[in-house]
A and B are shown apart, each in its own frame.
Chain A
Amino acid sequence: MEAIWADMTLTELPSWVSKAPPNWGTAARGKLSANNWRVICTIHLPITLIRLWGGGDVPADRRAKLENFMDLVSAVQIANLRSISQKEIEQYERYIFRYMTTFKSLYKLAKVKPIHHAALHYGDTLRGFGPAHTHGAAFYERYIHSMQSKNHNMKLGSYFYSKSNKNLSIYWYANQVNLN
């Protein structure tokens, strides 16, 4: 991790790529956003891991884990392209299928989760609906994130009394007064 953090501080990224937290992976940092994970996995980890695990003198299992990880990186890169062709979709399917096949043999105790299954079918989604950003729900994810940060009373289906609701009530009352 220290090698990855050290390389991260040196990497110069374009301004449109949001930087990942420098202390990611620690308890102090806590959870990362999906975008943070994407930047770490597709930019920072390949730079350091290939250098450390890509050599001929590295144990075979570590090397196999690197190749498995890079299949995932390649698949994610293709799945996130802003424009996509039939050939790239086929390439995505090859990478994700190889990733899942080697994942099962390398990590025998790991469970195959629904997200893995969905990833295997994502080629069909790309084929039917085009590039990811045309049908992605990033906007709604951000909205949900904003909703999650609000105070609530943990009672679903009833009015939740929170700071935002107080604000809404005041806003509604102010409007009523103005109308009258």
Chain B
Amino acid sequence: MAQPSIEFLCACLANALLYYYHVERPPVPIEEMLLMPPPDLAGDLALVRWAPYVGSMYRRGLSQRGAVYVHPKLEPIEQRMAMASGLFLGLRNSEGGQAVGLEQSVVSEDAQVESELFARYILMPAHLLPPDWETLTPQVLAGLFEVPLDVAEIRMEELHTEIHKAE
């Protein structure tokens, strides 16, 4: 059966959340999104600043409430990436995410590739880039959007590809 592409779903979800939280400039308040999720996602998303190792994970507790667990010793920008990736896993597990086929659109076994794709989309959305972004260095954009440098580099490549595809 046909599925929406993962790129399309990531763009839709990222932009819908940015719209919901009225985000008009970087940096994107990813922590706020987990602390105060939209009402229909309240059972799927929460933030716990603890993890059994210096990293992050998404789990459902005994109450079945889903939460992103982030180790507080992670660097702040790494925490933001971890929160955004965890947000994707919560969306994938939500009723709406399952209804739109998010689970079937994920091709990698552990969803890491897809969750990082979503994280780049929501932390560095195309419509929040400065008009002269193509003249800026990845370092400048990484600072502006509060993302790791390698994330900014990959996102810039993705955006260049999108622009050339549209031409």
The yes or no verdict on A and B being binding partners is: no
Interface residues of A (CB under 8 A from B): none
Residues of B within 8 A of A (CB): none
